[in-house]
Structure 1
Amino acid sequence: MKLVFLFLSAFCIVKADLATVRQVYISASTSEDAAAKLYDMVKDADGGNATITAYKAAALTLKAKYTKPLFDKKKYFTEGAKLLESTIEKDPDNYEARLIRLNIQENAPKITGYFRDVDEDKAFLVKHFDSQSQDLKEFTRNFVKISSSFTEEEKAAFN
């Protein structure tokens, strides 16, 4: 019984942390302080949790956005993109990692060449939306609402 309680407690803590990471991620695209906070929250991710590792990858790409030297911009963006690709390769059914990749690819400068999976990720999100938790559905809806990758018809599938 103690083991079950310990497992449930750990699950609740991870879930609460994930909700916080999501909120910080949302503001990180417009705030350098939030991007730094996101990076601090996830920098120690070691790949054990694919979703948190995907947020670490996103934090690295956001770090590139706020870094001045061009060499450092390229280094952070490339590191983040490689980490995200590796995470999705290991766990291709991770819905949230696919959502993060779509968001990054939608907003990455075209010069990076990082936009090839947009259609694949859109299709994946549409197909697997109904099986997600309510909080992840809401997070997805908020993203899709402002996304330039989805048509109005595709956006309707997330209601």
Structure 2
Amino acid sequence: MKFIFSIIAALVFFFQTSEIESLRYSYAKANQSTANTRAFINVADKQSGSDPVILGYKAAAQIMEAKVTTEKGKRKMFVKAGATSLENVIKSNPNNLELRLIRLSVQENIPKIVGYHKNMNEDKAFILSNYSKQNSSLKSYIKRFASQSKTITDTERSALK
């Protein structure tokens, strides 16, 4: 019985990990083109469950929906709903580094006029101070993000080992 439970737990972990890896890959490419943004939104929409990281990516997808929608009246609604969702999941999981990374990325890339940029320094400091505690996959993802980040300095990038 324990063996069967172990196999089921391993399968759940494997599929959850691959879902997150798929979201990370798609999210990292989302700002490169409208097609990539739409692809990320589709990948995020297909995800289900209550994992906080998946919910964070789904919230980011909602915000990015404003970038590709043709209905101008809905842009504000998408940003507001996505930002509210992202803030709620971070409030429930304040020590989750990947959620902070998602928020930093969103706030870096959203137009300043929107006014959603108040957590950038806080999130950057949290990411840099907790980087060493992360698994190798997340460390690699953080390094890739940092390499193109407007907020993370060259000195801070070089500290990420």
**TM-score category (smaller protein):** over 0.9
Of 98-107 and 145-154, deviating more is 145-154
Question: What's the % identity of the aligned pairs?
Answer: 31
Gapped runs of 5+ residues in structure 1? none
Instruction: Tell me the residue number matched to 1:49.
Output: 51
Does the aligned pair in 1 maintain the 2:97–2:127 contact within 8 Å?
Answer: yes
* 1:40 to partner: Cα distance: 2.5
**Equivalent of 1:128 in 120, 127, 130:** 130
Gapped runs of 5+ residues in structure 2? none
Does the aligned pair in 2 maintain the 1:24–1:34 contact within 8 Å?
Answer: yes
**Equivalent of 1:91 in 83, 87, 93:** 93
Normalising to structure 2: TM-score of the pair? 0.92
Normalising to structure 1: TM-score of the pair? 0.93
**2: distance between equivalents of 1:11 and 1:31?**
31
Question: Does 1:20 find its partner at 2:19?
Answer: no
Matches within 5 A, 1:99-114: 99-114=101-116
Runs of 4+ in structure 1 off by over 3 angstroms are 44-47
**Equivalent of 2:66 in 64, 78, 92:** 64
Q: Give the aligned residue type for 2:64.
A: L
Tell me the alpha carbon deviations over residues 15-63 of structure 1, each in whole angstroms, 9 at most, x when there is no partner: 1121111111111112323322322332265661100000001111111
RMSD: 1.5
**1: distance between equivalents of 2:153 and 2:40?**
30
**1: distance between equivalents of 2:71 and 2:42?**
21
Instruction: Tell me the residue number matched to 1:119.
Output: 121
Q: Give the aligned residue type for 1:60.
A: Q
Aligned length: 159
**2: distance between equivalents of 1:108 and 1:58?**
11
Q: 1:44 to 1:90 in 2, by over 3 A?
A: farther
